[in-house]
Every structure is written in C-alpha cells, then in structure tokens.
Amino acid sequence: MAILVDDNTRLLIQGITGREGQFHGGQMKAYGTKVVAGVTPGKGGQTTLEDVPVFNTVREAVLATACNTSIIYVPAPFAADAALEAMEAGIKTVIIITEGVPTLEMMTVYHEARRLGVNLVGPNCPGVITPGKAKCGIMPGHIHKPGRVGVISRSGTLTYEIVWELTRAGIGQSSCVGIGGDPIVGTTHLDALKLFNADPETDLVILIGEIGGNNEELAAEWAKANMKKPVIGFIAGLTAPPGKRMGHAGAIISGGAGTAQEKLRVLNDCGIKTAERPDQVPGMVKLALGLA
C-alpha cells in the first residue's frame, strides 16, 4: 500500500536518455524500482540502462510495457507537454522533477490532471519514495528505512535531513512525498495528507512546509476536523525577508502573506505540534506514537 508508488509501480521515464534521466534512472533501478520503459522522441527502438526499451511516444510505451506511472526529467520548456502526453496516454500517476516550468503552463496541466483523476506530483520536486518498494525521484534511497511514518515536504535536502534523523533514530517511513517548491503543484500538502490519512500503513504524518502561499494552513485546517492520525509540523523560513524569492519559485512572502510565523500559528491552532529544529522531530514522533 503506502501512497502513490509501491511494488505495483511500473515506471516510465520521460527524458530517459538525457543526463538526469540516465543518472537517476540507474539509481532508481538499483533501488529496485521496476523501470519498464523510457521515452525520448527520435530515439525509439533503442535500449538503455541495460534492458529498458526506449519509445518515441508515451502511447507506444504504454501499449508495449503497461507502464502505469511516469517520471519526467525533460527540460523545462518541454516538461508541461510531456506531462500532458502522459496523461492523454492514460497514465494515472505523473511525477514532474523538472525545475523552471512556466507557471501558466503548469496551470493547464494541473487542471487537466484533476479532470482526468491523475495523481500529479511536482514540478520542481524530489519525487516520491516508498522505502523498500519503489523510489521514483532523485532522493538518496539509502537514507530511508521502511516503516509507518509518512513525510510530506516542498523541498529536497530539508526533507532528507529530517528523514535521515528519523532513520538514525530507528523510525521508518511509509512513503515520503516531495510535493515541489513551485507556486502551482499537482499534489498539495492537503492532497498528500488525505492520502496518508486513508493509508492503513501510515500511523503518523510529518508535514514540512516553508514560506509562501497558504498550502500548509489549508492542510492544517482540514487535519483539525478530519485527520485520524497525529501530525507533526516543521516550517522553514522564519528569518526570510518579505518580497524575496528564497530559491524555490513559490517560496516568497508577498503582500505580507505566507510568512512562517503565520503558518506556525495556524498549525498550532489546529492542534499540530511543531518542531523548532529538524533534530527535534524524531523525539516528537516517538512521544506521539507512545514509543518514548
């Protein structure tokens, strides 16, 4: 079970012959993910990463390999179209790793995914991992450990930091979802929280947020009324100045809205305990699960 990806995942890599596709394709395969196909227009008929067939189009890949999940590494100007191609071909889980996708194009992809019932993750994200079963992303697999804590985050290395702390404390993860740092992302904190709430293999969720937008607040308000499992929060960017983009396209305090202080206030008001530092998270998890 877990969420979004597991051992039933049959992965297609769009952009498989590019530098990122090759490197991370190899890493995902080495982790044990079933990488069954790749797409690079004009390179159909080749084989790469030892035994993975390359196709010119997603439709051909779906017909030949029954791939059911796609991960996108193609350059930003072509990434939105790659996602639309995957969705049109019937793929129901699409993960966009690419950073720098124009926001208006993502708007179209976002609404099309909702209409078609596609689980869209990203863009500008580290992907999704279900430890021990499938790694669909760019995260280092070996820092994870199978277990029953779900992790949701907008960022890459901050998530790895917290996951590494968990793993070293002996706390395993059911799935870790990197939802991405852009203003418009396919899966929001709220969407991922709902998936974890319904997942019998998850006992607790760690919600990692940062400045910009009100995604974390919406998730917290929903959790207050609906969440059956404990949630622990961490918000980055208490020291971020207003009006400046902090690396991620979506990490910006605009018009006084989207501050870390406000997010922490809402999370706390909704009964979500928040950590002041990443290294406090494992202790809080143990306490919440009665392990301490």
Partner 1 sequence: MKIHEYQAKELLAKFGVPTPKGKVATTVDEAVKIAQDLMCWPLVVKAQVHAGGRGKAGGVKVVKDMEALKAAAEFILNLTIKGIKVRKVLVEPGVDIKKEIYLGVILDRATQRPVVMACAEGGVEIEELAVTNPDAILKLGLPPTYGFRPHHTREIASFLGIPATALKSFNAICNGLIQSFYAVDASLAEINPLAILGNGEALACDAKFNFDENALYKHPDVEALRDDGEEEPLEVVAREKKLNYVKLEGQIGCIVNGAGLAMGTMDIVKHFGGEPANFLDIGGGAKAEQVADALQLITSDKAVNTIFFNIFGGIVRCDLVAQGILDALQKLPDFNVPIVIRLSGTNEEKARAMLQGTALTIAATMAEGAQKAVAISKR
Chain contacts with partner 1 (rule: CB under 8 A): 27, 76-77, 100-105, 107-108, 110-111, 138-140, 142-143, 153-161, 164, 181-184, 208, 210-215, 218, 236-241, 244-251, 255-257, 260, 276-279
Select 8 or 157, whichever has its Cβ closest to partner 1: 157
Q: Position of tokens 């809402």? A: 266
Whether residue 273 contacts residue 284, with contact meaning beta carbons closer than 8 Å, is answered with yes
DSSP 218-286: HHHHHHHHH--S-EEEEEE-TTPPTT---SSTT---BTTBS-HHHHHHHHHHTT-EE-SSGGGHHHHHH
- State in angstroms the smallest separation of the CB of 147 from partner 1: 19
Comparison of 161 and 199: residue with beta carbon closer to partner 1? 161
Provide the minimum distance between the beta carbon of 279 and partner 1 in the complex, in angstroms, as a whole number.
5
Taking the least distance from each CB to partner 1, the nearer of 61 and 184 is 184
Can you tell me the distance from the alpha carbon of 37 to that of 283, in angstroms, rounded to the nearest whole number? Answer: 41
Q: At 206, phi and psi to the nearest 5?
A: -105, 125
* 189 part of the active site: no
- Smallest distance from the beta carbon of 237 to partner 1, in angstroms? 4
Under a CB-based contact definition with an 8 Å cutoff, are residues 111 and 78 in contact?
A: no
Whichever of 139 and 149 has its CB closer to partner 1, that residue is: 139
Instruction: Specify whether the CB–CB gap between 147 and 153 falls below 8 A.
Output: no
Beta carbon of residue 152, minimum distance to partner 1 (angstroms, whole number): 12
Q: What is the set of active-site residues?
A: 248
